[in-house]
Every structure is written in C-alpha cells, then in structure tokens.
Amino acid sequence: MPRTPADLVGVRTGSSFEITFGARRVPARPEQSVAAALWAAGILAWRTTRATGRPRGAFCGIGQCYDCLATINGEPNRRACLVPARPGDTVTPQEGHGHASLG
C-alpha cells in the first residue's frame, strides 16, 4: 500500500483553510508551516534582501538560514518555515529587515 509523506510523519488530517499572501488567498492545511503553504501554492519568494533587493524564500527549511523571513500578521522577521499556518493568517512580503523606520 503506497504511503504519502504526510503518512510517514504522522500528520493529522483536517479541514484545509486559507491564509493570505498580499492580495492572494493561499490554501493551507493543519500543521503546515507558512513557508510550506506558500511553496505549495507556487509562491517561491516572499522577501527581498536589504542591500540588493534580491528575492528570497525557503532555503534550509529548518530555521537556520533566515532566508524565509516574512511579515506574518504584522510582525516582521518571522521564520516562515517555523511558523505554523493558522486560519486567517496574513503574510506580507517583507523588504529588507522588515523595519521600514530603521532605514
């Protein structure tokens, strides 16, 4: 009998829900990280670097590299690979360090 990755790690099934990325609605599943939900929706970058404005998204997927920083529910610099998606979450593309007032 074939098994899925979700079966192998014991993910509990449940009703999917939506989070938003900018103006786009993104489906998410229980216990899925924000980064995984964005990635599954084909969104590969959600911040730009401070110095050069280059796009960044998930890189290591385990919270070590900080490439996946995002503004989640108004709070900048959240590691999207570590933040569980919750119904109604709002993810805003982050520019640089996420603190516009710091320049």
Q: Span 33-42, mean pLDDT?
A: 95
Contacts of 95 (CB under 8 A, 6+ apart): 47, 48, 50, 53
Full set of structural domains in the chain with CATH: 15-94 (3.10.20.440)
Tokens of 36: 């995984």
Task: Identify the band that residue 56 occupies on the pLDDT scale cut at 50, 70 and 90.
Answer: confident
Burial string for 22-40 (b: 16+ CB within 10 Å, else e) reads eeeebebbeebbbbbbbbe
Mean pLDDT (the chain, rounded): 86
Q: Under DSSP, is residue 100 helix (H, G, I), strand (E, B) or coil?
A: helix
What pTM value is reported for the model?
A: 0.80
The pLDDT of residue 32 is 94
User: What is the model's pLDDT at position 102?
Assistant: 45
Of the two residues 51 and 10, the one the predictor is more confident about is: 51
